[in-house]
Structure 1
């Protein structure tokens, strides 16, 4: 795997991984390292992404602090950090939307590799796809990573397990599969036909059923910024406060404040009037 250009990074990462291993804290390596292992795409990453179970995060930080790293819990619902000089280690136990929590299955299906001269385990491709599929910010969109992962790993994926990971949010997986066929028309054979048919069948059945009556915006599971107006001004319930997400109002407030401006954007005008045309469409 490619190493960062910073000369201190390999030693910093190796020391952290070694300390966690010696202390018996199970961890997985993800991010750019896993992406390169699965797809061949190399990036000069600024940090090392280490994944742990939520219940192991506090212990992991204790171990790293004892080893000389400066640690902090950046966001209590998903992310802690450890630093040594300019080198950063992200200690991840969930996802920014509070959905993709690390659990035992991540470890049961991990992939063996080597990093900085040490044996490590990588986040499984299924969980890597699952967690990246929901990252659709203006400043960061992981859709290309998802498609590159599908191109490289789709024939060998545990598709029933991946479908189970998405659960009731299967629409997001279907969207990426449709984009895969668009981006790689000659590679559609890589996606098992039964998977696409299964998801399209779910969509057909959903369209045949009455639409939900409670206003819900699931866009906040994709972007913490771009759908704030929907949940702050337009009356939609924030899907991050509903299962399977695990965030509460305090988590959302902290995560929103970190966007940069510190406050949710306000709409520049009133909500557009959809008029009778939308009413006609709903009646059909």
Structure 2
């Protein structure tokens, strides 16, 4: 496979992302970006591409994530089908895929927990980059933190990504928008801000003190308030697998499901069915 250099030129940095990708994969990625650009269909490049651009952290990837509004998904899917690509709506609550053989691109319009819905504000605050020689827009830092902060699976934890985004942009971020994004899930944001001071003690000043104080004030208020009546498990917003026992066996209400979350019981069931099978404990210890 040819070693490729993908130049990422965003509004804040010039960060090359290196990875081993073959020519057919490069052509597939570029063709999808060009098709959507020519048709003037709105999308944002996210994932590792945007992360490398915003932070300068050199993390190789062969994955390409495009963020789109749900209302635009059908038009985008049809344009790509017209261009000869295979498109599927993989999980109706958050994700579709564009396929070319074994390669694919994710079309993301929410997060797996149904919280971080892609809306107009993602586009209003997006950055600019060049990916595979195509001028594109990239996901904004605040929305990347919002979506990544909830990813705490056994096999994947995006806390380091959140810390690196804070390290690079805390002084310039729209903290009011970020606080509004987290809304009732502010404890998740607070946990990452506390960890940031642990990870980078000399840089903890980058997070505005008044933001932390406001969140700590909410925490202090809850410490002296009666506990909620509902037996809710918010853990399912952090991991689709590790808190299933609490919901299925302990009688807790699923934090992803309305009225607490944005998902339906059917969407949760479909998302749960897709959890990869794991080796048994005996096999793992062998």
* TM-score (norm: length of structure 1): 0.89
Distance (Å, rounded) in 2 between the aligned partners of 1:155 and 1:234: 43
Question: How much is the aligned-residue C-alpha RMSD, in angstroms?
Answer: 1.3
Aligned to 1:214: 230
Distance (Å, rounded) in 2 between the aligned partners of 1:29 and 1:58: 18
> 1:3: Cα distance to partner?
4.9
- 8 A contact 2:258–2:264 mirrored in 1: no
Query: 4+ residue runs of structure 1 moved beyond 3 angstroms?
Result: none
Matching of residue 6 in structure 1 with residue 39 in structure 2:
no
Q: Which runs of 5+ in 2 are unaligned?
A: 1-15, 279-286
> 1:107: Cα distance to partner?
0.2
Instruction: State the aligned residue count.
Output: 262
Aligned to 1:143: 159
Aligned to 1:83: 99
| Equivalent position to 1:24, from 40, 58, 68 | 40
Distance (Å, rounded) in 1 between the aligned partners of 2:260 and 2:109: 15
Distance (Å, rounded) in 2 between the aligned partners of 1:173 and 1:52: 24
Distance (Å, rounded) in 1 between the aligned partners of 2:122 and 2:194: 26
Aligned to 2:112: 96
Aligned to 1:271: none
Greater displacement, 175-184 / 239-248: 239-248
> 1:26: Cα distance to partner?
0.2
Query: SS state of the match for residue 135, structure 1?
Result: coil
> 1:69: Cα distance to partner?
1.5
- 8 A contact 2:129–2:136 mirrored in 1: yes
Aligned to 2:181: 165
Per-residue CA distance 1:203-255 (angstroms, 9 max, x = gap): 01111111112100000000000000000000100011135632101110111
Distance (Å, rounded) in 2 between the aligned partners of 1:205 and 1:2: 45
> 1:123: Cα distance to partner?
0.4
- 8 A contact 1:32–1:42 mirrored in 2: no
Aligned to 2:144: 128
Aligned to 1:277: none
Aligned to 2:63: 47
Matching of residue 232 in structure 1 with residue 248 in structure 2:
yes
Q: Which runs of 5+ in 1 are unaligned?
A: 263-284
Per-residue CA distance 1:6-31 (angstroms, 9 max, x = gap): 22232211110111122221000000
Distance (Å, rounded) in 1 between the aligned partners of 2:57 and 2:249: 41
Aligned to 2:192: 176
Q: Which has the higher strand share?
A: 2
The 5 A counterparts of 1:193-204 are 193-204=209-220
Query: SS state of the match for residue 89, structure 1?
Result: strand
* TM-score (norm: length of structure 2): 0.89
